[in-house]
Homo-oligomer: A and B are copies of this chain.
Amino acid sequence: MDEIDRKLIGLLQEDATRSYASLGKEVGLSGGAAHERVRKLRERGVIRRTTIEVDPAAIGRDVVAYVLVDGSTWMGDAADRLAAIPAVEEAHVIAGPASLLLKVRTAGTRQVQEVLRQVFEVEGVTSTQTVVVLETFFERPSDPQVESRS
């Protein structure tokens, strides 16, 4: 994981269809060497997979909401139960004002209610608090470049 690896990751995040030849040129390596670097990054699991980025609105996901979930004595399969709700894109255990934080994406505010109903069906949930997103400034992948200092 040196500077070159991080650059390769950054470039592939922008466009994973680039040829290894052009990739190599950009980082000052030959095509073959760039290929080998990327192969190892995949092998080590640093690069998990190649995927596409989809416009949420185009597939009927117009509104984003965050749901704070409170509850006690989670059944062991709470994570699975939440994963079974397609609109729930993230689920985190948090330290703070609630137990769980969910990121939810639905076609409209109406459908948020349906999701909340499904969340309440998960064993152990006692209450929820929903934060609706009015506007998203940006959503972007992790920057592979290290932040020096502090």
Contact = CB atoms under 8 A, between A and B. Distances in A.
A28 interface: no
A52 B47 contact: yes
A72 interface: no
Contact of A9 (B54, B147, B149): B54
A101 interface: yes
Given A17-B50, A48-B54, A79-B138, 6 more contacts: A12-B51, A14-B51, A47-B52, A83-B138, A86-B143, A94-B131
14 contacts: A6-B59, A16-B52, A47-B52, A47-B55, A49-B52, A54-B141, A83-B137, A86-B143, A86-B145, A90-B139, A93-B135, A94-B131, A95-B132, A96-B131
A119 interface: no
Nearest to A149: B114
A146 B106 CA distance: 10
B58 A90 contact: no
A47 B83 CA distance: 24
Contacts of A143: 86-87
A144 B54 contact: yes
Contacts of A79: 137-138
Contacts of A51: 12-16, 50-53, 141
Nearest to A78: B137
Contacts of A48: 52-55
